[in-house]
Amino acid sequence: MKKSTTDIIIRELEDLIRKGNAHVPFEDAVEEVSPRIVGVVPEGLPYSLWQLVEHIRITQWDILEFSRNPNYQSPEWPEGYWPTVAAPAREGILPLRWSG
């Protein structure tokens, strides 16, 4: 059976997301990052690794909630999309690869 253009596009998008064709999986990206530095803001840069990852999480959550809840109110921009602290508030909140 011949596939439609829509079927081909859906398959390609699934491959991009699931197979990592569009990005490096998070676990691979942080594999060699020491937990000791995730809350450190490097000199000359505005954010720590923790803040960048948390920003992505907050933004993805916002997109999801906006998409599924017609009454959803997004956080204030840009303050509501960035954590105010450089490191997580407690141990055990880091991804598994960062907690060792």
In tens, the pLDDT along 12-33 reads: 888 877 776 767 777 888 888 8
Q: Within 10 A of 2 (CB to CB), how many other CB atoms are there? A: 4
Radius of gyration (Cα) for the chain, nearest Å?
A: 18
Nearby residues of 72 by Cβ (< 8 Å), 6 or more positions away: 65, 66
Q: Can you tell me the distance from the alpha carbon of 20 to that of 1, in angstroms, rounded to the nearest whole number?
A: 28
The two counts, helices (H) then strands (E), for the chain are: 3, 0
The structure's pTM equals 0.69
- The 10s digit of each residue's pLDDT in 28-50 is 888 888 888 889 999 999 999 99
